[in-house]
Amino acid sequence: MSDKPQKKPWGGRFHDATDRFVERWQASIAYDQRLAAVDIVGSIAHAHMLAKQGIVPVDEVEQIVAALHEIREEIETGTFVFSDALEDIHMNVEARLIDKVGAVGGKLHTARSRNDQVATDIRLYLRDEVSALSHQLVELQRVLVDQAEAHAEVVFPGFTHMQTAQPVVFGHHLLAYYEMVARDHGRLADAYRRLNQLPLGAGALAGTTFPIDRLAVARELGFDGVCRNSLDGVSDRDFAIELLAALSLIMVHLSRLAEELVLWSSPPFRLVHLPEGYCTGSSIMPQKRNPDVPELIRGKSGRVFGDLTALLTLMKGLPLAYNKDMQEDKEPLFDAVDTVRDCLTAITGLMAGLTVHGDRARELAGQGFATATDLADALVRTGLPFRDAHEVVGKLVARAEAAGCDLAELPGEALTELAPGADADLLHKLTVDGSVAARAALGGTAPAQVLEAVRDARIALKHHNSKMR
């Protein structure tokens, strides 16, 4: 980064130079240089339109476009020298353009302001990021579905209040996350639609006096339409906030999964085995195998929520139209996108390598009288009202607990004393496999249902046809 003093593109009315501290402090180039590629793409489309509309002569636009291509090369190969004194990516590129082609370069900014330019750049940038994140979500969904199919018959403890509730199969549990991620994907697709509107042409705030063709620029850049009000076009950051909200929900889901992985892999549970490549050891305790990856994902959710809060707070009191405050939109946005990208990479790899301790899972699934509801249901089928059945089974649970045995180990009379009409054998028919197999209605945990859901998910993933490129 160069800190040589530079002539400011806006310097005409100034007598004094910018304070050196202020110059550095207010510059965004350190972080908005990641917009370089989209800034240039946007400028090229703008230049083409200026030529087509006869606003700038064709031969001059040709020189400008050729130089912009060279500047892109320089940035890609790392030879471009960014300067603090030129504030941001827009003025850095423009200054280099004028360096290269002389005064003609100064015509590129005709009928344009940095205000509509930056709004366009962010949208172009996010478009690519949202598409990439969507593909990552689909990848995660695929892994979840594969693992769900492989574990469609693996009985696993189901909890409510973190107390043993009813047995499920592990595949069913994984498909719960598949559903969450499917909604996350839908939210990104929805955000993308509103994102994909072109602000360029809004000018500084009021539009432009030149006979521009905004629709032509939108077409060249692949936007679905144009922002219809110039003030709104330069002031709107809803699309960014909306995206951060969608990213926050992704992090809520990843964080819940991460929390479960931490619990399940903890030695007292010993339900799952995390792939070694995703664990770390302790520098003092030789026996440790710590679930750092899920812990870090759980922790990273906080920064993404922080990014969302930062942007909401940034925007809430701003008068129309552009205000310099809005330069603060970029870091939270970039941070959230980067964080979610990496968390998705990590969780997808981890879930692909996850293995389950099936025997241990079956053991825990049966503990804590997990089949009590099944017994109550069976009594209901003999004609007992559910509330009475609940009471009977509750008493049996108390008796089994006192005897230190399971429901299935109680003598048959224990049941018939309390429910005279019942078949004494009911108690002994209680198994975790019977329990899961019986939950065969749509959306239930029966292995057959889970395999059905796996089939549906595969069809959805195959037909998954996003408008995002």
Write out the catalytic residue numbers: 161, 282
From its phi and psi, is residue 157 left (phi > 0), alpha (psi between -120 and 50) or beta? beta
Among 88, 116, 149, 307, interactor with ligand ARG by CB under 6 A: 88
Interactions with ligand ARG, residue window 117-156 (CB under 6 A) = 118
Under DSSP, is residue 273 helix (H, G, I), strand (E, B) or coil?
Answer: strand
Question: Closest distance between ligand ARG and the C-beta of residue 326, in Å?
Answer: 5
Site for ligand ARG in 426-445 (CB under 6 A): none
CA distances to 57, 202, 321, 322 from 209, rounded to whole Å, are: 18, 11, 18, 19
Residue 112 or 114: the one with the smaller Cβ distance to ligand ARG is 114
Contact region for ligand ARG (CB under 6 A) — 143-151, 154-162, 297-305, 319-327? 319-327
Q: Could you say which residues in the range 446-465 bind ligand ARG, by CB under 6 A?
A: none
For position 114 contacting ligand ARG by CB under 6 A, the verdict is yes
> Considering beta carbons, is residue 198 or 436 the nearer one to ligand ARG?
198
* Residue 467, SS3 per DSSP: coil
Contact set for ligand ARG, span 189-248 (CB under 6 A): none
DSSP one-letter string for 341-379? HHHHHHHHHHHHT-EE-HHHHHHHHHTTTTTHHHHHHHH
Of 234 and 436, which CB lies nearer to ligand ARG in the complex structure?
234
- Residue 43 or 445 with smaller CB distance to ligand ARG: 43
CB of residue 304 to ligand ARG, shortest distance in Å:
21
326 is an interface residue for ligand ARG by CB under 6 A:
yes
Residue partners of 380: CB distance under 8 A and separation at least 6: 386, 389
According to DSSP, the residues that pair with 356 across neighbouring strands are: 272
Choosing from 327, 339, 371, 445, the residue that interacts with ligand ARG (CB under 6 A) is 327
- When the beta carbons of 118 and 426 are compared against ligand ARG, the nearer one is 118
Residue 123 or 151: the one with the smaller Cβ distance to ligand ARG is: 123
User: Are the C-beta atoms of residues 77 and 139 closer than 8 Å to each other?
Assistant: no
Segment near ligand ARG (CB under 6 A), from 73-81, 112-120, 186-194, 368-376? 112-120
Instruction: Report d(CA 41, CA 93) in Å as an integer.
Output: 12
- Long-range residue pairs from 327-332, CB within 8 A, at least 24 positions apart, any chain: 327/26, 327/28, 327/88, 329/122, 329/237, 329/240, 330/28, 330/31, 330/32, 330/122, 331/31, 332/244, 332/306, 332/307, 332/308
* 23-42 residues near ligand ARG, rule: CB under 6 A: 28, 32
- Least Å from the CB of residue 18 to ligand ARG: 13
Stretch that binds ligand ARG, among 43-51, 323-331, 338-346, 352-360 (CB under 6 A): 323-331
Q: Which stretch binds ligand ARG (CB under 6 A): 113-121, 171-179, 281-289, 301-309?
A: 113-121
Asked if residue 170 binds ligand ARG (CB under 6 A), the reply is: no
The rounded Cα 415 to chain-centroid distance in angstroms is: 51
Residue 416 CA: distances (Å) to CA of 192, 212, 383: 62, 87, 14
Q: Is 177 a residue that touches ligand ARG (CB under 6 A)?
A: no
Candidates 60, 101, 208, 72; CA nearest to 217 is 208
Smallest distance from ligand ARG to CB 333, Å: 11
Q: State which H helix or E strand residue 82 sits in.
A: none
Question: Which residues lie below 8 Å from residue 452, measured CB to CB, with a gap of 6+?
Answer: none
Phi-psi group of 115: left, alpha or beta (phi > 0 → left; psi -120 to 50 → alpha; rest → beta) = alpha
Cβ atoms of 100 and 40 within 8 Å: the answer is: no
CB of 345 to ligand ARG, least distance (A): 28
CA distance linking residue 362 with residue 269, whole number of Å? 12
Single out the segment in contact with ligand ARG by CB under 6 A; choices: 110-118, 215-223, 403-411, 439-447. 110-118
Q: Does 322 bind ligand ARG (CB under 6 A)?
A: yes
Judged by the rule CB under 6 A, the positions of this chain that interact with ligand ARG are: 28, 32, 88, 114-115, 118, 322, 324, 326-327
